[in-house]
Amino acid sequence: MSRVPLPYTAKVLDLFRNPKNLGKMEDATVVAVAGNPACGDMVTFYLKISDQEVIEKATFESYGCAANIATSSIVTEIIKGLTLKAAWEDITWKKVTEEVGGLPSIKFHCGVLAVGALKRAIRLYFEKKGAAPEWLPKDHTFEEKQALEEEELAKMLSKRLKTAEEEKK
Ligand code: FES
**What whole-number distance in Å separates Cα of residue 107 and Cα of residue 66?**
9
Per-residue pLDDT of the chain (169 residues; tens, 9 = 90+): 567 778 899 999 999 999 999 999 999 999 999 999 889 999 999 999 999 999 999 999 999 899 999 999 999 999 999 999 999 999 999 999 999 999 999 999 999 999 999 999 999 999 999 999 999 999 999 999 999 988 888 898 888 888 888 888 7
d(CA 157, ligand 1 centre) in Å: 15
CATH, residue 49: 3.90.1010.10
Predicted confidence at residue 133, as pLDDT, reads: 97
Mutation probe of ligand 1 site: the residue of 65, 108, 153 with most atoms within 8 A of C-beta: 65
CA distance 30 to 49: 8
Please tell me the total count of domains within the chain: 1
**Residue 61, beta-bridge partner list:** 44
CA distances from 135 to 86, 87, 89, 138, 155 (A): 10, 12, 9, 9, 31
**Upper half-sphere CA count for residue 139 (Cβ side, 13 Å):** 2
> If you measure from the C-alpha of residue 41 to the centroid of ligand 1, how many angstroms do you get, rounded to a whole number?
6
User: Which residues surround ligand 1 with Cβ inside 6 Å?
Assistant: 36, 39, 41, 64-65, 67-68, 107, 110, 113
Look at residue 156 in the predicted model and tell me its pLDDT.
Answer: 87
In a domain, 39, yes or no: yes
Instruction: Determine, yes or no, domain membership for 4.
Output: no
Amino acid 2: pLDDT: 61
Confidence at residue 89, expressed as pLDDT on a 0 to 100 scale? 97
Q: What is the pLDDT of residue 119?
A: 97
User: Does the pTM exceed 0.75?
Assistant: yes
H or E stretch at 48: strand 42-49
Domain containing 117 equals: 10-168
pLDDT of residue 80: 98
Q: Are 77 and 55 in contact (CB under 8 A)?
A: no
pLDDT at 162: 87
Q: Is residue 3 part of a domain?
A: no
**Closest atom of ligand 1 relative to the 67 alpha carbon:** 2
Say if 5 falls within a structural domain. Answer: no
Coil, helix or strand at residue 74? helix
The answer as to whether 54 is a domain residue is yes
User: Residue 35: which residues within 8 A CB-CB, separation 6 or more?
Assistant: 41, 42, 43, 113, 147, 148, 149, 150, 152, 153, 154
